[in-house]
Structure 1
Amino acid sequence: MAAQDLSVFVRHRDGGVASMELAVDGIRCAGCMQAIESGLGREPGILGARVNLALKRVSVEWREALLRPEAVVDKLAALGFKAYPFVPERQEDGAAAEERSLLRRLGVAGFASMNIMLLSVAVWSGNSADIDPTTRDFFHWLSALIALPTAAYAGRPFFESALRALKVGAVNMDVPITIGVVLALAMSVAETWNHGRHAYFDGVVMLLFFLLIGRYLDQLMRRRTRDLAGNLAALKAETATRLDADGNWTVTPIAAIAPGDRVLVRPGERVSVDGIVETGRSELDQSLVTGETAPVAIGHGERVHAGTLNLTGALTVHVEAAGQGTLLDEIDRLMSQAVGSRSRYVRLSDRAARLYAPVVHTLAAATFLGWFAWGLAWPEALMIAVTVLIITCPCALGLAIPAVQVVAASALFKRKIMLKEGDALERLAEADIAVFDKTGTLTLPEPDILNPEALPPERRAAIGALAAASNHPLAQALARALGGAPARTDVQEERGQGLSAGAGDDEQRLGSIVFCGAEAEAASVKALHPGASLIAYRHGGYRTVLALGQSLRPEARETIAALRAAGLEIAILSGDRSEAVAPIAAELGVTHVRAGLLPGDKLNLLDSMAANGRKVLMVGDGLNDAPALAGAHVSISPVSATHLAQAAADVVFLGDSLAPVAAALEIARKARGLMLQNLWFAVLYNAVAVPIAIAGLATPLVAAIAMSGSSLVVTLNALRARGRRAQSEAEA
């Protein structure tokens, strides 16, 4: 067999640590996850492995000095799992093929079960005491001729999974199913051979039919999450047009593009890198970053991100990140982490599922021995034990929590919300007070013109050209607010005063109130916007004063109202001046306000709230709020692209709107309720069903229907985790 070179798929990190993402065939349940994670964890050199059951992927970290990536794949093969580097197209093809295979097996099992049921009806349609033994044996053999090849074909996914586990000394959830099917078939053949009255070919095939229904529905649910990851992967460009110093261009694989390179993005192409626009103007579809589908004008000095769509003009971009390290790559990583990370409830479900196999085998063996000792014939006692194996529902237990987390993470992702911690959903659902920072959180981080009525349209270009000529932060903010007009080249700057251009009656000035002689105009503006920064403009005898300040984030009022309606108390803790915080608090109707706080002061206040039993949700911008975000019970950060990877919050969201905060709380509370519902349902189902099976009051067919039905219940219940808002938006 030819040697593989997997080095191109490896991510290299600081400290000699390497990581790789692998797609793995045969991952079915919590037992498979435990086998892989514990098996790899025992290997020298491997630092950790995390299985994503929803995406059927494994992330592995190891010491580069001790292992090569090929060795990791070999170790997975030794555990009974075929693995290969994650490539979206290959995974999608494999998932589609598996779905088609399950559907074919489901059809065969359904068709065979109908025919065997007809034969059973023919045998038992009359008085059972008057049935001719020869006729009964003939129909039983006909049933066997249908059931045995059907079971071999339709049951193959379960048999192969069980054999893989047993080969490496493990037991997964398919082992008891396989034992039950094989024992029932063997007993039915033995009964038929010995001219017995009872055969269970119909029950076995119906069992496989219902099991395949459950597995196919599970596959469809997992595809919903894989589709989200696949949509992200589809936005990643494989190549970029690199420009050299002479202006020549070359189509280059994205893996060969490095920070500092220059790339050309033509109209109609997706941006393949994160970077800064050097030349050109265009409009971009930035819905990936902001959630808004309306085109956004972009020009010199502005940042673009991989995955956004260039609509109108050609752009030359100075590369900051390509392939790994881009915003798109970080979103993809967070999405995978969200659906694969372990919350408190998931860990509880995993432990219960791992205990399932030894417990149920012990219970089935004890049931057989108990009935046999009681005096029941061994075939009947064995069939009751088989029913116990079948009726217990590991699927409901194993899916109870992960299914909800997968659906909830997908619903959050559609709202541009990503989880950074596995138990963030539970902690968010427990919050009873929401604490907001002001600057960059309740307000947009970039200053905006608060009195646009003071700026006639015909003056916008002139003021923007003056502002663009200065490096002063307020001047740059004004230039951005006015659309980024080209800077004038004849501008003189007087330090501490402002800018001037032209002479005589045509002189234009932009700067302080005194510099522009606009004291009268400034008085009325300051009265309306007491916390704003004022910039004056004069052209001849014309004067106007612009108020620059941070405006409320879109939907801030609606978000605060929604949080109040959900029962949360609202507070604002800000490091800004009181006169700047008060108008924002008044506009939002918040009375619990503290201003002028240092980062340590905020953390002390949060600790005080926690000491009083409060569960604090901290919403901050992730910059100077890092200590408070880390110290809160749960934290959410509205992060810009450049801070996404560094955010200290448990939950992050993209875009300008504050609405994701309320949506995250709604989905988290819904998800926590559904997790508990599913967990209790799985426990109660087994508590009721197992005694019925032990008492001999259920047949294998009834057990198959009950077990598959319980899995279907928890799966459908999990779909409700999308939340009302997220669901309505998805339908829209």
Structure 2
Amino acid sequence: MSAPESDWAAFVTDTGNGKAHMDLAVDGITCAACMYEIERGLRKLDGVENARVNLSSHRLAVDWDEQTTSPAPIVELLQHLGYKAYPFDPAQVKSRGDAVGKEILRALAVSGFAAMNIMLLSISIWSGNTTDIDPETRSFFHWISALIALPTVVYSGRIFFRSAYMAVKTGRLNMDVPITIGVLLATGLSIWQTIQEAEHAYFDSAVMLLFFLLVGRYCDHLMRRKTRSFAENLATLKAESAAKILEDGSTQNVPLSKLTAGDRVLVRAGERISVDGRISTGTSEVDQSLVTGETLLQSVQQGDLVYAGTMNTHGVLEIEVTAAVKGTLLDEVNSLLETAMEGRSKYVQVADRASQLYAPVVHAAALLTFIGWVVMGMDWQTAMVISISVLIITCPCALGLAIPAVQVVASGLFFKERVLLNAGDAIERLASVDTIVFDKTGTLTLPDATLSKKHGLSADQLELAGRLALSSSHPLSQAIARATGAQHILSDVKEIAGRGVEAVVDGRAVKLGSPAFCGVSDVQLNEMRTQRPDASFVAFQEGSEPATLLPVGQFMREKATETIQQLRDAGYNLEILSGDHTGAVKYAADMLQVADWKANLKPQDKIDRIEALKAQGRKVLMVGDGLNDAPSLAAANVSMSPVSAVHVSQAAADAIFMGDSLTPVMSALNISRKARWVMNQNLIISVIYNLLAVPFAVLGFVTPLVAALAMSGSSIIVTLNAVRLRMIAGASTQPNEKA
């Protein structure tokens, strides 16, 4: 029974015009086939206009006409299809995902321990059958095997049994159905033959089958778990409360949900702005790099618009709210991100595509084998043994391990190259890339502002500038302090808000601050900006000497030029899409010799360009780091993000690279191509194995024991082939393969 209508009402969003929206967390989704089944089923329901399942987070987004249907029929249909639904809560999704992982790991440990012990007993029986084992001892060993196997099958097999039961209950088949039938038949027949004191029992086959399948399932779970965190991480840029200015002029912290358009909020220096609004009082500089990609601090004053998620670097601002919870730029980015990730989750892995034909073919083969031998006069028990052999020998262990085994090995190679994978299918998608789109700010450039090496100061002047910078809280001053390594603050330093700092050293006045503060003319400043559009400028002046302009900015990553050249030589099409201003983007594009670039882009603009490339048949890799990049990271065929990226972008990306160098991007692409080659080899091995083994099993030449050994052997072969990837990936950093 579904929850009462009133229980779901609190989680329904009215989207206007009689339409409603609800997000649900759905348990029981194991593969792309589940996703398609849910979407198709819900779209057939009267009133449901759209249903989208995110395969990574198991999030179901449903839109419907309130005049035609309501939440209850939607939830009831999900239950009829065999899935449990809950209101979507990122924290609960994470806890449920962790619980599933622990359940699989416990089942894996139990089946592995049991398999080892049963195999020890089986070896004694096999050797005894060819020598002098007496029937009583053999029967005793069979009963001990049964006592180990029965609780193991019940405990470790319930993961497959539940899935198979729900599939059969709703009139469908999945890969867990033949697994369940094979395990239960092998166990049941083994019990029957143990009671009859027969020579053979097949407890080892059933338990080994479970063990190898659980290995593959746990590997897949580890990869999927990493892609479920974007909804939680978005909170890192959301201030959940704001200092509301009351009518008497006092302030009170209130939740964002209590703010309406026209309210005024106070934002102090160093605080993140929590609303979209217009400045009513105050001046400051705002760091928008994480939200818009703009590298330079933006001077703001009365009447200027500011956005949620940006940082107020100094000065106190009073902001008139235009949007607080819904309708903010941050909310828009979140919406774009969710939509893009739902679209990306439609990707079906190679193993999923191969497995879609598996269940019906195996069932048909086993059933026809049983019927055929009975018709030919064989007793039902012997025919059953042969059909069980068919089920076991065609077990999808090799198919189930073909991809995860390569993923595990490749993950180690990626880690060696300082790349962490967020998604198991990222390897396949990286291997198919032909176009690479880079963000500029924090991606091609370093994430933190620093002082340019071409600063024009002597060593003594540089030390003095660094000591002055220690007294200022301004981000550009802090960058100078870090770059110089200054540790000792000058005494009697005066800070003039919004302008800079000054002190007297050995009878000479020294200043560090804005160009105007140090007497730099607009002509000189504009000339420097023309030469270095990628930098902000801090002026340093000693005594009456002319001031020196110090370029401070986010400069190119280590080996950026070499990596871009390698990618170009390898045949990849390269583009730069940035929210930064035109001068800075052009400067970077010219330096890297990237002909295709666009500046001043909003998140939707980046998505539009990526979708246009995909419409041309391109396979797009997006590399970005800011909040404004998160939706386009999700929209691309595959994506990478530096470890310095905002958490939302890291979660939206398929892979994260560490360090200040750009070389891991090239390494990841080369490793992925080699890994896909090995994946395809493993799938071919799995197919050849079945083509050779099944006819022998159907003809009765294979017992369940031999079938289990053959199944295990095929699993070992694909695993060893996956390990071979380590040997062939030695040249992974060499751009010797054309895209």
Name the TM tier (shorter chain).
0.5 to 0.7
TM-score relative to the length of structure 2: 0.64
Cα displacement (A) at 1:123:
4.0
Q: Which residue among 601, 605, 611 is the counterpart of 1:622?
A: 601
Q: Which residue among 429, 434, 440 is the counterpart of 1:430?
A: 434
Cα displacement (A) at 1:178:
0.5
In structure 2, what is the Cα distance between the partners aligned to 1:572 and 1:222?
29
1:561 matched to 2:565? The reply is no
Cα displacement (A) at 1:204:
1.5
Amino acid at match of 2:708: L
Distance change (3 Å), C-alpha of 1:304 and 1:705? farther
Amino acid at match of 1:200: Y
Query: What is the number of residues matched between the two proteins?
Result: 637
In structure 1, what is the Cα distance between the partners aligned to 2:242 and 2:525?
51
Deviations 1:3-51 (A, max 9, x none): 4433443455576554433221112223322322222232222233333
In structure 1, what is the Cα distance between the partners aligned to 2:681 and 2:362?
19
Match of 1:28 in 2: 30
Distance change (3 Å), C-alpha of 1:529 and 1:509? same
Instruction: Report which stretch shifted further, 315-324 or 62-71.
Output: 315-324
Cα displacement (A) at 1:427:
9.5
Deviations 1:62-108 (A, max 9, x none): 33443333432222112110011121222232233333333433344
In structure 1, what is the Cα distance between the partners aligned to 2:39 and 2:67?
21
Are the counterparts in 2 of residues 384 and 694 from structure 1 also a CA contact under 8 Å? no
In structure 2, what is the Cα distance between the partners aligned to 1:4 and 1:191?
56
Other structure's SS at 1:699 match = helix
Match of 1:47 in 2: 49
Cα displacement (A) at 1:176:
0.7
In structure 2, what is the Cα distance between the partners aligned to 1:527 and 1:290?
21
In structure 2, what is the Cα distance between the partners aligned to 1:581 and 1:286?
15
Q: Which residue among 336, 343, 367 is the counterpart of 1:365?
A: 367
In structure 2, what is the Cα distance between the partners aligned to 1:681 and 1:647?
30
In structure 2, what is the Cα distance between the partners aligned to 1:686 and 1:317?
65
1:149 matched to 2:127? The reply is no
Amino acid at match of 2:591: L
Cα displacement (A) at 1:184:
0.7
Other structure's SS at 1:47 match = strand
Cα displacement (A) at 1:161:
0.9
Are the counterparts in 2 of residues 559 and 658 from structure 1 also a CA contact under 8 Å? no
Distance change (3 Å), C-alpha of 1:642 and 1:153? closer
Match of 1:69 in 2: 71
Distance change (3 Å), C-alpha of 1:123 and 1:643? closer
In structure 1, what is the Cα distance between the partners aligned to 2:530 and 2:497?
28
In structure 1, what is the Cα distance between the partners aligned to 2:285 and 2:525?
36
Deviations 1:166-187 (A, max 9, x none): 1111111111111001111121
Match of 1:57 in 2: 59
In structure 2, what is the Cα distance between the partners aligned to 1:227 and 1:117?
41
Amino acid at match of 2:161: F
Match of 2:508 in 1: none
Distance change (3 Å), C-alpha of 1:216 and 1:349? closer
Distance change (3 Å), C-alpha of 1:584 and 1:265? closer
Match of 2:204 in 1: 202
1:678 matched to 2:679? The reply is yes
In structure 1, what is the Cα distance between the partners aligned to 2:211 and 2:720?
17
Other structure's SS at 1:51 match = strand
Consecutive unaligned residues of structure 2, counting only runs of 5 or more, are 470-494, 501-515, 650-657, 734-739
Distance change (3 Å), C-alpha of 1:208 and 1:531? closer
Amino acid at match of 2:196: N
Are the counterparts in 2 of residues 261 and 319 from structure 1 also a CA contact under 8 Å? yes
Distance change (3 Å), C-alpha of 1:325 and 1:404? farther
User: CA RMSD of the aligned region, Å?
Assistant: 6.4
1:692 matched to 2:671? The reply is no
Are the counterparts in 2 of residues 259 and 321 from structure 1 also a CA contact under 8 Å? yes
Amino acid at match of 1:109: S
Amino acid at match of 2:40: S
Other structure's SS at 2:82 match = coil
Other structure's SS at 1:352 match = helix
Deviations 1:341-379 (A, max 9, x none): 458972765443322211221233344456667887654
Cα displacement (A) at 1:692:
1.9
Match of 1:701 in 2: 708
Amino acid at match of 1:158: F
Other structure's SS at 1:58 match = strand
Amino acid at match of 1:152: V
Q: Which residue among 243, 246, 252 is the counterpart of 1:244?
A: 246
Q: Which residue among 132, 135, 139 is the counterpart of 1:133?
A: 135
Instruction: Report which stretch shifted further, 555-564 or 707-716.
Output: 707-716
Q: Which residue among 88, 99, 118 is the counterpart of 2:90?
A: 88
Match of 1:615 in 2: none
Amino acid at match of 2:221: Q
Amino acid at match of 2:149: A
- Structure 1 residues 582-661: aligned runs within 5 Å: 584=587, 588=591, 590=593, 621-622=600-601, 631-632=612-613, 633=618, 634=620, 650=636
Distance change (3 Å), C-alpha of 1:233 and 1:389? farther
Are the counterparts in 2 of residues 105 and 212 from structure 1 also a CA contact under 8 Å? yes
Match of 2:655 in 1: none
Are the counterparts in 2 of residues 393 and 710 from structure 1 also a CA contact under 8 Å? no
Are the counterparts in 1 of residues 28 and 84 from structure 2 also a CA contact under 8 Å? yes
Match of 1:165 in 2: 167
Distance change (3 Å), C-alpha of 1:121 and 1:61? same
Amino acid at match of 2:709: V
Are the counterparts in 2 of residues 181 and 204 from structure 1 also a CA contact under 8 Å? yes
Other structure's SS at 1:36 match = helix
In structure 1, what is the Cα distance between the partners aligned to 2:353 and 2:243?
51
Are the counterparts in 1 of residues 438 and 622 from structure 2 also a CA contact under 8 Å? no
Deviations 1:211-247 (A, max 9, x none): 3333333333322333565444576565555443434
Deviations 1:593-647 (A, max 9, x none): 6xxxxxxxx8xxxxxxxxxxxxxxx665536999876654458597975797699
Cα displacement (A) at 1:162:
0.7
In structure 1, what is the Cα distance between the partners aligned to 2:720 and 2:231?
26
1:355 matched to 2:357? The reply is yes
Are the counterparts in 1 of residues 209 and 708 from structure 2 also a CA contact under 8 Å? yes
Identity in percent: 38
In structure 1, what is the Cα distance between the partners aligned to 2:529 and 2:292?
34
Match of 1:226 in 2: 228
In structure 2, what is the Cα distance between the partners aligned to 1:45 and 1:396?
43
Are the counterparts in 1 of residues 286 and 300 from structure 2 also a CA contact under 8 Å? no
- Structure 1 residues 575-586: aligned runs within 5 Å: 584=587
Cα displacement (A) at 1:333:
5.9
Amino acid at match of 2:433: A
TM-score relative to the length of structure 1: 0.65
Distance change (3 Å), C-alpha of 1:716 and 1:193? same
In structure 2, what is the Cα distance between the partners aligned to 1:266 and 1:42?
52
Distance change (3 Å), C-alpha of 1:511 and 1:382? same
Cα displacement (A) at 1:270:
7.3
Match of 1:101 in 2: 103
Match of 2:488 in 1: none
Amino acid at match of 1:44: D
Are the counterparts in 2 of residues 442 and 556 from structure 1 also a CA contact under 8 Å? yes
Distance change (3 Å), C-alpha of 1:120 and 1:552? same
Amino acid at match of 1:89: A
In structure 2, what is the Cα distance between the partners aligned to 1:64 and 1:404?
48
Q: Which residue among 77, 80, 85 is the counterpart of 1:78?
A: 80
Amino acid at match of 2:434: E
Distance change (3 Å), C-alpha of 1:343 and 1:219? closer
In structure 1, what is the Cα distance between the partners aligned to 2:292 and 2:576?
26
In structure 2, what is the Cα distance between the partners aligned to 1:150 and 1:278?
69
In structure 2, what is the Cα distance between the partners aligned to 1:652 and 1:680?
26
